[in-house]
Amino acid sequence: MNVTVTDDAGTPADTGDDFTATCPKTTLAPEESMTCTATVEVTVDTTNIAVARGVTVEGNPAEADDPADVVILEFGLLIDKANDAPLETLELPDGTLLDLPTADEGDTVTYTLDYDLVADPVTNGVITDVLPVGVTYVDGSATGDAQFTFQGYDDAARTLTWTAAEVSQDGSVSYQVTVDEGAAEISQPLVNVAGIDSDQTDPDSDDSEVYVPTTPAAATGTPQITLPPTDTLDGQQSQGNTGFSLMLILLALAAVVLVIGFVTPVPASVRERARR
């Protein structure tokens, strides 16, 4: 009964003034809980403590507290990387089944690099992205935004770079790669790391994974040779012997010649000589 929650201004910035939280109830049943809210202005790193007080049904006072650390970020530039490879269920070597971003050899994958600015604007922002072996950058596919301009791709270092004179808001850049032939034989997954930095912030990074599965030969699109059906004789397959086929053809021709000779009329002069 008579439940109240107060929140101090934090230590070391404690002014001695507590803030009374807003709670939906003033009485709780045993094991029941509720959420109370309070807004506290914090200007430096601090440990903030909330205290709940009340009276039990027996009339005894009860109290509980919970601290929370609050860290003030003066500057921050964070990056979040993702790709559009579709999720497929793959079986890992240990037999585990997982839904993983998957691309076949020859596929095109788009990577998106979202960056978030915390607090004040920063200067000389730089985004880099290092491609893993197994993918190839698609020339001309990199995009910038209102703040970051794409500077180019270093083929030797396999690195894309964007720069911004000033970063004053959140934004996003992107690019595309194609999955190389033979990438399925490389240790999986293929992982590339993007990083962001500026004059006022510490570097931040994030990676993105793509799995390239080994495709069975019958499913690679390689043309398959189909043998023609073979004749059968008395349930046994013909051997398709070329010499045997030629012999049959010659016998057939000989039979035709004999038939022609048999039915062709004999000239009269020949019949006359035969009588004599």
For residue 93, the model assigns a pLDDT of 73
Q: Are residues 62 and 25 in the same domain?
A: yes
Q: Are residues 41 and 157 in the same domain?
A: no
Q: CB–CB of 148/127 below 8 Å?
A: yes
Q: Are residues 62 and 95 in the same domain?
A: no
Residues 6+ apart with CB under 8 A from 104: 179, 212, 213, 215
Question: Has residue 266 been placed in a domain?
Answer: no
Query: Domain ends where: 70, 91, 110?
Result: 70
Q: CB–CB of 160/85 below 8 Å?
A: no
Q: Tens digits of per-residue pLDDT, 163-173? A: 999 999 999 99
Number of independent structural domains in the chain? 2
Q: Are residues 108 and 127 in the same domain?
A: yes
**Local confidence band at 11 (pLDDT 50, 70, 90 cut-offs):** low
Is the pTM above the cut of 0.85? no
Q: CB–CB of 34/23 below 8 Å?
A: yes
Q: Are residues 63 and 193 in the same domain?
A: no
Residue of 81, 177, 180 lying closest to 137 (CA atoms): 177
Question: Has residue 221 been placed in a domain?
Answer: no
Q: Are residues 182 and 148 in the same domain?
A: yes
- Helix and strand counts by DSSP (H, E) for the chain: 2, 17
Q: Are residues 128 and 9 in the same domain?
A: no
Query: To 5 degrees, how large is the angle CA 17–CA 18–CA 19?
Result: 125
Query: To 5 degrees, how large is the angle CA 29–CA 33–CA 34?
Result: 120
Work out the mean pLDDT of the chain and round it to a whole number.
Answer: 77
Q: Are residues 94 and 128 in the same domain?
A: yes
Phi and psi for 72 in degrees, rounded to 5?
Answer: -90, 125
Q: Which residue has the higher pLDDT, 17 or 181?
A: 181
d(CA 87, CA 89): 7
Percentage of residues of the chain with pLDDT beyond 90: 43
Phi and psi for 155 in degrees, rounded to 5?
Answer: -65, -40
Q: Are residues 39 and 97 in the same domain?
A: no
Most confident of 10-24, 185-199, 227-241: 185-199
**Domain extent at residue 17:** 4-70
Question: Has residue 230 been placed in a domain?
Answer: no
| pLDDT, mean of residues 9-26 | 64
Q: Are residues 65 and 153 in the same domain?
A: no
CATH no. for residue 112? 2.60.40.740
Q: Is the pLDDT assigned to residue 127 strictly greater than 50? A: yes
Q: Tens digits of per-residue pLDDT, 187-223? A: 989 999 999 999 999 999 999 999 999 866 444 443 3
